[in-house]
């Protein structure tokens, strides 16, 4: 029982930290990270193509699995996620853990500072 309680507290602290980091990220560094790790599969422009992954324009506030022009996995469609700073950071950190069965092949961004930077950039670039 103590182990479960400790794990739950650790998870809550970790998840709340991702929100705080997302608010303090550097968008310029996030743009470089996006270009290095995400641009091969994702576009950001309104009406942009979905290539190897869905277009991310309008990401924040949208329900996962609903972007037009992309055939999402059943796991993503059924995930009930609504994209915000926390859910984007958590998903980018470990996509397969957050949505088991996702079709995204990315292994995740493990450094919290990089996640904060990426989320800051995406928040700006996907509006």
Domains of the chain: 2-125 (1.10.760.10)
**Tokens 């990315």 correspond to what residue?**
106
Residue 62 DSSP one-character state: P
As a whole number of angstroms, the distance between CA 37 and CA 7 comes to 30
Residue 84 vs residues 15, 49, 60, 88, 101: alpha-carbon distances, Å = 13, 22, 5, 6, 21
CB 95 within 8 A of CB 54: no
pTM of the model: 0.81
Tens digit of pLDDT per residue, the chain (127 long)? 444 333 333 444 444 444 455 468 999 999 999 999 999 999 999 999 999 999 999 999 999 999 999 999 999 999 999 999 999 999 999 999 999 999 999 999 999 999 999 999 999 999 9
Pick from 94, 95, 84: which is nearest to 119 by CA? 84
């Amino acid at each position: 029982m103590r182990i479960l309680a400790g794990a739950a507290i650790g998870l809550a602290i970790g998840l709340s930290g991702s929100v705080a980091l997302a608010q303090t990220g550097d968008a310029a560094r996030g743009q470089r990270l996006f270009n290095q790790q995400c641009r091969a599969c994702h576009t950001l422009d309104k009406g942009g193509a979905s290539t190897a992954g869905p277009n991310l324009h309008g990401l924040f506030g949208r329900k996962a699995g609903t972007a037009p022009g992309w055939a999402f996995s059943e796991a993503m469609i059924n995930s009930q996620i609504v994209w915000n700073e926390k859910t984007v950071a958590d998903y980018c950190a470990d996509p397969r853990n957050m949505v088991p069965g996702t079709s995204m092949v990315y292994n995740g961004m493990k450094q919290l500072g990089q996640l904060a930077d990426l989320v800051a950039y995406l928040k700006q670039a996907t509006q």
